Amino acid sequence: MAILKYFLPTVCIALIFVTACKNRNEVIHESNNSVIASGKMPGVAIDNSETIHVVYGKSDSLLYSYSSDQGKTFSNPSLISVVPKLMAKAMRGPQIVATTDGLSVTACNTSGDIFSFVKNRSGNWLPTARVNDVDTVAKENLMALSSDGQIVFAVWLDLRNKHNQIFGSKSTDGGKTWSKNIFMYASPDTTVCECCKPSVQVKGKDVYVMFRNWLQGNRDLYLIHSSDGGFHFEQAEKLGNGNWALNGCPMDGGALTLDNDGNPRTVWNRKGTIYACNPGAEEERVGEGNSCTVELINGKNTYAWVNKGNVIVQSPDGVQKNLEKGELPIIKRINNDQIICIWQNDDQIHKAILSL
């Protein structure tokens, strides 16, 4: 049986195994998680060498740390740049992806401009072109980033037409330059949900963007797809069968990933219940809570979310672990046997390594 476990003595592992066998849905409480750094709103990327890269904000400083030993230890923070009025709170924080040549980072200020930085093979951080081609249009500061080789795709909530719409930009050189901004979607009811972060995944010429819409009073998740590298997007598709009628914003955009065949897998919150859904299929309940995310391990979904202030990770076998207090978890695959979960709590960034 595949089961999540920490690097614990053999006896402890055996006890966890027995407990999970008795009740696969039982939540196992874990502790002794490490603090990576003091800061807010971490973004995480893992490159082909299994190096883990973390970017985050602290006041106006855009900071970076990495681990070259699969998350056991992290480097001291280094400064990427000082970004006056850097936004790093409430799902609004810097993003990072690994590219063929290095790393690409985006960060937004409170005025609504998205700045771009790259780390080249020499190890130096360099500022590059601004991502938004109209001044101060990303005022919600909600953005996402994805890469496939040298292709990097950024998406964000954009106010250039007075109402929040989904816009994006594409880089074909690892984040050094950015295309003319791409209009992706506008709600016929004036605006998309104004406080939920969108998601983006790119693989080859396929670009998928997930966002929370606002249609007829409902705050539901939608998916749009481009098969030509982002030049044209198909009609938006609602995810799941249910609706969330809400006169307000849940501040929870869910998460999106792609399987090995390039098919999207989604996870999101509706009325405090976490659902997983493949496009065109009925949603399936995962758990109770919010701030959910998903990662594929050996073709199967691994989830993380927050329930009653606790970070929960659920393995593909349905075994859940409680990783102490926290918010906004991110899980990333290190290899076929390990994942890392990184989250924020009390202005500190925590990490836990789990085996499968």
Q: Spell out the SS3 assignment of 81-100.
A: EECCCECCECCECCEEEECC
Query: Which has the closest alpha carbon to 48: 119, 107, 102?
Result: 102
Give the sign of the dihedral formed by CA 15, CA 18, CA 22, CA 26. positive
**Terminal alpha carbon distance of the chain:** 9
pLDDT in tens, the chain (356 residues): 343 333 333 333 333 333 333 333 434 334 445 999 999 999 999 999 999 999 999 999 999 999 999 999 999 999 999 999 999 999 999 999 999 999 999 999 999 999 999 998 888 999 999 999 999 999 999 999 999 999 999 999 999 999 999 999 999 999 999 999 999 999 999 999 999 999 999 999 999 999 999 999 999 999 999 999 999 999 999 999 999 999 988 999 999 999 999 999 999 999 999 999 999 999 999 999 999 999 999 899 999 999 999 999 999 999 999 999 999 999 999 998 899 999 999 999 999 999 87
Q: CB within 8 A of 261, min separation 6: which ones?
A: none
Prediction pTM value: 0.90
Please give the Cα distance from 91 to 168 (Å, whole number): 18
Helix extents (H) in the chain: 10-22
Please give the Cα distance from 54 to 69 (Å, whole number): 14
Question: What DSSP state is assigned to residue 269?
Answer: E
Please give the Cα distance from 238 to 62 (Å, whole number): 35
Q: Which two tokens stand for residue 339?
A: 């994942």
Instruction: State the Cα torsion 270-272-277-279 to the nearest 10°.
Output: 20
Please give the Cα distance from 188 to 214 (Å, whole number): 9
Instruction: State the Cα torsion 154-211-157-229 to the nearest 10°.
Output: 30
Please give the Cα distance from 184 to 155 (Å, whole number): 9
Please give the Cα distance from 243 to 271 (Å, whole number): 9
Please give the Cα distance from 310 to 329 (Å, whole number): 10
Q: Which residues pair with 145 in a beta bridge?
A: 154
- The rounded Cα 233 to chain-centroid distance in angstroms is 22
Please give the Cα distance from 154 to 198 (Å, whole number): 10
| Domain 83-265, second-level architecture | 6 Propeller (2.120)
With H, G, I as helix, E, B as strand and everything else as coil, classify residue 271: coil
Query: Which has the closest alpha carbon to 201: 269, 154, 136?
Result: 154
Please give the Cα distance from 60 to 94 (Å, whole number): 12
